[in-house]
């Protein structure tokens, strides 16, 4: 099976960015649209494996988007992700043709689980790629304790467990910063500036916590002894555990 293609139709830019980055680190191919009409055009033009759709969208609301898609024969599984939590809203969503409906605020783990259920509803999908991938030999790398980061592939490997996984671009930037400053206290502001210094925009404070959470999850997956510790009220520090 090829890569999983996910379409996100969400007008809240910060949330759309978090969703995109989360599923990119799950090795999905992700397209984001911020308006109902552009989401509708994208969904009818390109075959996706699943769609996450807000309801309250500019130009065309999510219910209208899905009704038009279903009327044109587009059968891609859809999950509505919305703040509209009334029973009547949920019933309208299912009536429009949605396979699932999740209200905001939500836990990312639950959304992830629901999307994987949607993928099983798509007859063209028979498997979902796992996080572990092979490591290329001979690449430039950074190594601290048992953890090695391949700079070319963005793969991290623990010599302690032998397990590997690939980082997203933001996770890679974040880990490089920690590896270049082992044991040093890094403030949230410093981390945020690192994450967005090449994008020509203001740092998105507090969002660094999301990427640290993603990075911790992958470090836990490979079983490295390195840990990113939270120093309450001050920032974060990379240390080797026992």
Chunked into runs of 10 residues, the chain (242 residues) has average pLDDT values of 81 90 84 93 89 95 95 93 92 94 91 89 50 39 87 86 87 87 85 69 64 90 92 87 61
Burial of 227 from C-beta contacts in 10 A (0-12 / 13-18 / 19+): middle
pLDDT at 99: 93
Are the CB atoms for 194 and 171 separated by under 8 Å? no
pLDDT at 170: 84
Is the Cα dihedral 164, 169, 170, 176 positive or negative? positive
The rounded distance, in Å, linking the Cα atoms of 53 and 68 is 14
pLDDT at 219: 92
The rounded distance, in Å, linking the Cα atoms of 204 and 171 is 15
Task: Map out the domains of the chain with their CATH numbers.
Answer: 5-121 (3.40.50.2300), 141-240 (1.10.10.10)
The helix (run of H) or strand (run of E) holding residue 148 is: strand 147-150
Six token digits for residue 167: 């980082």
Six token digits for residue 109: 């783990």
pLDDT at 228: 93
| The pairing of beta strand 155-158 with beta strand 147-150 | antiparallel
The rounded distance, in Å, linking the Cα atoms of 124 and 119 is 9
pLDDT at 119: 87
């Amino acid at each position: 099976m090829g890569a999983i293609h996910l379409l996100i139709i969400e007008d809240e830019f910060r949330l759309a960015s978090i969703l995109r980055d989360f599923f990119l680190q799950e090795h999905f191919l992700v397209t984001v649209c911020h308006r109902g009409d552009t989401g509708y055009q994208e969904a009818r033009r390109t075959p996706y494996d699943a769609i996450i759709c807000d309801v309250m969208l500019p130009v065309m609301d999510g219910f209208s988007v899905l009704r038009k898609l279903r009327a044109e024969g587009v059968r891609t599984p859809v999950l509505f992700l919305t703040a509209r939590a009334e029973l009547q809203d949920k019933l309208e969503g299912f009536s429009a043709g949605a396979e699932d409906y999740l209200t905001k605020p939500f836990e990312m783990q639950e959304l992830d689980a629901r999307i994987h259920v949607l993928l099983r509803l798509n007859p063209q999908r028979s498997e979902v790629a796992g996080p572990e991938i092979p490591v290329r030999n001979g690449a430039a790398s950074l190594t601290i304790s048992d953890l090695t980061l391949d700079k070319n592939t963005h793969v991290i490997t623990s010599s302690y467990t032998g397990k590997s996984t690939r980082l997203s671009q933001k996770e890679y930037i974040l880990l490089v910063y920690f590896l270049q400053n082992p044991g040093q206290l890094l403030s949230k502001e410093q981390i945020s500036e690192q994450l967005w210094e090449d994008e020509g925009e203001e740092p998105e404070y507090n969002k660094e916590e999301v990427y640290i959470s993603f990075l911790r999850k992958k470090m836990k997956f490979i079983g490295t002894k390195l840990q990113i510790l939270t120093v309450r009220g001050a920032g974060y520090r990379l240390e080797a555990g026992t």
